[in-house]
């Protein structure tokens, strides 16, 4: 969805009749992009990605049928069989209800916030037939006004894009959340730092390498809502102050690489600096999931996998929770 922001603003400025298409409900398809969406105009141009384009022709036809001033929304049912799914390189077939909503009905604020990378959600209320689809923007940290607002906050809290359809007395409500992408702050340089940066990029995350406590504190403060600290340095003048600062800021993930002896030394340093037991328990050290990682690439995978699990609220087993040798 974020990659559509510039195009959406351009089309809106042109007054182009266009529609934003994204799923309301879906079954099958296998692993899929929870942020998938397509902009479709009445002339047949498609921008974006949804189910690897297998339904683009149908969406174009629907947009052409709506045409006119582009003021009417529509929910259309689409499905793909196993053969077509294989040809489109989808994991498997599936079916979905896709909402085509006029671009003119999407708040301009939505595209502006998406373009800046802000954590934001869109709540769309659909009346019978979807003709009255009305959308409102919910920012991260907003006080929820109803169940849809609460669900938006929950989805934003996972730090991963997500959609949910709520059914109630007022009808169907589509909640779409796009949190700020994780911002991985890597404390220390070297091959592992480089590979963690590459793995982060593969996941669509941002990353930065910092080399001292002052630099780390500045970056963490600037990205406190999305920062994930990965401390690689074993320098007590760097690791303990930075870990303490990250905990004080309440950043979503705090982890530190090192042996159990190094981990104990850091814990002692944090306790001496006044860090309490509950905050100390937030430090993932030794860092990473217990995958038996040996190489830098494997270690980077284990670290990023743990970050993903923690942000998503998953209870994956980390090295911190084992007592065997690190190997």
Give the tens place of pLDDT for each residue, 118-163: 889 999 998 755 456 889 999 988 888 899 999 999 888 877 788 9
- Six token digits for residue 72: 């009417």
The three-state secondary structure class of 16 is coil
The DSSP annotation for 108-174 comes to HHHHHHHHHT--EEEEEEE-GGGTT-EEEEEETTPPP-SHHHHHHHHHHHTTS-EEEEEEETTEEEE
- Average pLDDT of every residue of the chain: 90
By residue count, the chain amounts to: 327
Sheet holding 120-126, edge to edge: 134-139, 120-126, 171-178, 162-168
- Is the alpha carbon torsion for 152, 155, 159, 163 positive or negative? negative
106: Cα within 13 Å, side-chain hemisphere:
29
> Quick one: which of 257, 267, 260, 268 has its CA closest to 233?
257
Bond prior to 21 in cis (omega within 30° of 0): no
Q: Place 231 in a pLDDT band, splitting at 50, 70 and 90.
A: very high
Phi and psi for 240 in degrees, rounded to 5? -65, -50
Q: Which residues pair with 100 in a beta bridge?
A: 21, 74
Q: How far apart are CA 249 and CA 228, in angstroms?
A: 11
* Domain positions in the chain: 2-178, 183-321
88 has a pLDDT exceeding 80: yes
Task: Find all residues with CB under 8 Å of 198, minimum gap 6, and list them.
Answer: 300
Q: What is the DSSP letter of 288?
A: S
Q: How far apart are CA 191 and CA 87, in angstroms?
A: 39
Of the two residues 171 and 219, the one the predictor is more confident about is 219
What mean pLDDT comes out for the span 99-110?
94
Cβ 169 vs Cβ 176: under 8 Å: no
The CATH class of the 183-321 domain is alpha beta
How many of the other CB atoms lie within 10 Å of CB of 97? 16
Prediction pTM value = 0.72
Q: How far apart are CA 144 and CA 282, in angstroms?
A: 27
How many of the other CB atoms lie within 10 Å of CB of 291? 17
Q: Place 183 in a pLDDT band, splitting at 50, 70 and 90.
A: very high
Say how far residue 158 (Cα) sits from the centre of its chain.
Answer: 8
- Six token digits for residue 305: 């996998």
Cβ 153 vs Cβ 138: under 8 Å: yes
Cβ 57 vs Cβ 131: under 8 Å: no
Task: Find all residues with CB under 8 Å of 247, minimum gap 6, and list them.
Answer: 254, 270, 275, 279, 280, 282, 283
- What pLDDT shows up at residue 84? 87
Q: Give the best-scoring range by mean pLDDT among 44-48, 207-211, 308-312.
A: 207-211
């Amino acid at each position: 969805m974020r990659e559509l922001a510039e195009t959406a603003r351009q089309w809106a400025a042109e007054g182009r009749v266009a529609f934003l298409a994204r799923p309301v409900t879906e079954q099958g398809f296998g692993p899929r992009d929870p942020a998938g969406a397509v902009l479709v105009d009445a002339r047949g141009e498609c921008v974006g990605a949804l189910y690897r384009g297998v339904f683009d022709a149908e969406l174009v036809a629907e947009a052409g049928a709506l045409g006119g001033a582009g003021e009417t929304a529509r929910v259309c049912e689409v499905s793909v069989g196993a053969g077509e799914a294989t040809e489109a390189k989808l994991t498997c077939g599936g079916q979905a209800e896709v909402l085509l909503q006029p671009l003119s009905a999407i708040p301009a604020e939505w595209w502006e916030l998406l373009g800046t990378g802000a954590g934001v959600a869109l709540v769309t209320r659909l009346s019978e037939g979807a003709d009255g689809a009305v959308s409102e923007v919910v920012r991260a940290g907003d006080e929820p006004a109803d169940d849809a607002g609460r669900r938006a906050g929950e989805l934003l809290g996972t730090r991963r894009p997500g959609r949910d359809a709520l059914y109630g007395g007022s009808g169907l409500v589509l909640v779409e959340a796009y949190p700020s992408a994780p911002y991985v702050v890597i404390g220390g340089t070297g091959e592992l730092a480089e590979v963690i940066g590459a793995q982060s990029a593969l996941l669509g995350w941002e990353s930065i390498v910092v080399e001292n406590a002052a630099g780390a504190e500045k970056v963490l403060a600037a990205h406190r809502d999305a920062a994930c600290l990965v401390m690689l340095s074993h320098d007590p003048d760097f690791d303990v102050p930075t870990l303490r600062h990250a905990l004080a800021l309440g950043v979503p993930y705090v982890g530190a690489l090192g042996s159990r002896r190094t981990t104990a030394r850091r814990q002692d340093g944090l306790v001496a600096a006044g860090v309490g037991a509950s905050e100390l328990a937030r430090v993932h050290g030794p860092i990473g999931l217990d995958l038996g990682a040996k190489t830098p690439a494997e270690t980077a995978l284990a670290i990023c996998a743990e970050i993903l699990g923690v942000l998503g609220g998953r209870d994956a087993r980390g090295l911190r929770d084992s007592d065997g040798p690190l190997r």
